[in-house]
Amino acid sequence: MEALTRRGYTVQPFKVGPDFIDPTHHSAICRRVSRNLDAFMMGENGVVETFRRASAGAEIAVIEGVMGMYDGVDGGDFASTAHVMRILSAPALLVADARGMSRSVHALVKGFLEFEPGMRIGGVVFNRIGSPRHRELIDCGRTAPAIGYLPRTPGLEIESRHLGLAMAHETAPSAGLGELMEEHCDIDQVIRIAGEAPFLPRSDAEEQKGSARARIGIARDEAFCFYYQDNLDLLERSGARLVPFSPLRDDFPEVDAVYIGGGYPELYAAALESSSCRDRIAKATSDGMPVYAECGGLLYLCESLETDRTHRMAGVLPADAWMTEKVQALGYSDGDWSGGPTLAPLSGRILGHEFHYSQVECRQDARFAISLTRGRGIASGKDGLYAGESLAAYTHAYFPASFASSLVEAASAYRRA
C-alpha cells in the first residue's frame, strides 16, 4: 500500500474478516478509510456492494487477507480469504514465510497453488529472506512467478498485545517501508496482476447521508477505537449526525444518543474513572437517553471494572466486569433480537464477532435483548444486557439496516421528548 501511494496511486484498502486493528494502519498509509470484507457478517452481496462503493474514486484496491488463505468458518472455506477472492474474482499474491527453509518453501507454495483449482494466484512474495545466499537457494527450485524477496529487516515489526497488533495511532510509521518494497518487489508486476481483475460496475448505492434527525455521539479515543466504517456510514444514511468525542478527555457532547464501541478501557480504567464524562453519561441514561455499547463499551457501562484494582465505571448496567489472563471468547456470533429497549429492533437477526479477555457478572434480575445461536455472549448464550434505554453486548455487530433505523429513531424520539 505504501509503495503504491508513493507512486502517486489512489489506493483503497480492505481487510478480510472482522478486524479493527489492521485497518487503522491501512487508513493511515492510504489516507482513505479501510473497509472490512466479511462474507459471514455481510453476505456475498454485501461484500460486493462495500467493495464497489468504497472503491469509487480509487485507482487500485489492495485487500489484506485473514489467517491462511483457505481458513474459514469452522475449518471450512466460508468467509475465508479464498472465498472473498472468488466473490470479487480477484487475483492474489501469496506471501510465503521462507524463514528456515530453502527448497521446502516450494512444496508449501505448490500446495497452495494446487489445493483449490481455479484460484488465481498471480505470484509469490517470499518473506523473511536471511541473506543473498538464502535467496539464491530459493530461486533454484522455483516454479511459481516470484514477485519479491523481502529480507528480514529489524525495526519493521509491529508490537502486539492481548487483542492483536498495536493501533496505528500508537506506533510510529515504519520509515523506509515503501522503499523496501520498491527495492525487493516488482511493483510493476503487482500492478499488472491487479489489472487482470474483471471490471466491476460502479455501485448504484450512493454514499448519501440522510437528512439529520438526531445527533449520535461516537465515543472515539484510545480507550474506544473499534468501529466498522460501514456501521457509521449506515447510521448517517439512516439520518444520524455523528458527533465524535473522547470519554477520556472531553466534556459530554450535546447529543441525543451515544454509541460506545470496543477497544481498551482496561488500559485506561483509572482515567475513565476520574473523567467527568463518566457521571455525565450516567446522568444522561437516567434521563432516558439511548446508549448502545459493544465489548469495551459494555465494560465501561458496568458498575465496576477490575484490572490491577477495582475501578468505578458508569454504573448504567447492573453488572461488574473484570479482566482475565486468558481469552474468554473468540469467533463469530449469530443471534436474534428478543426484546429490549426502543433502540433494539422488535425482531431480526444480528451477526457479529466476539474477542475479549474479560468476564461480566450480572445481577439476578438482569435482562437481555439478544439470544445467540452461535457465540458465548455475556451469559449462557444471552447478550445485549439492558437497563432503561441503554443496551450493551459483547458482540461487535455488523449493523443491519433495521438496527441502524431503530437506533436513530430512538435518538430522534429522545430529542423530541
Closest by CA position to 259, among listed 50, 415, 399:
399
What nine digits make up the cell of 298?
459494555
CA distances from 273 to 74, 137, 257 (A): 39, 58, 21
* Count of helix runs (H) and strand runs (E) in the chain: 13, 24
**Pseudo-torsion of CA 372, 373, 376, 378, nearest 10°?**
20
CB neighbour list of residue 333: distance below 8 Å, 6 or more residues apart = 350, 351, 352, 353, 354, 372, 374, 375, 376, 377, 383, 394, 395
Amino acid residing at 62: V
Q: Any bridge partners for residue 359, and if so which?
A: 322
Whether residue 383 contacts residue 377, with contact meaning beta carbons closer than 8 Å, is answered with yes
φ and ψ at residue 111, rounded to 5 degrees: -60, -40
Q: Is 362 a catalytic residue?
A: no
CB neighbour list of residue 75: distance below 8 Å, 6 or more residues apart = none
Amino acid residing at 308: D
- Say how many CA atoms lie within 13 Å of 310 toward its Cβ: 5
Annotated active-site residue in 30, 185, 225, 295? 295
* Whole-number CA gyration radius for the chain: 23
**Whole-angstrom distance, CA of residue 262 vs CA of residue 406:** 21
What nine digits make up the cell of 282?
450516567
CB neighbour list of residue 251: distance below 8 Å, 6 or more residues apart = 276, 277, 280
Amino acid residing at 313: M
CA distances from 397 to 167, 230, 254, 369 (A): 20, 11, 25, 14
φ and ψ at residue 380, rounded to 5 degrees: 50, 45
Whether residue 146 contacts residue 122, with contact meaning beta carbons closer than 8 Å, is answered with no
**Known catalytic residues?**
295
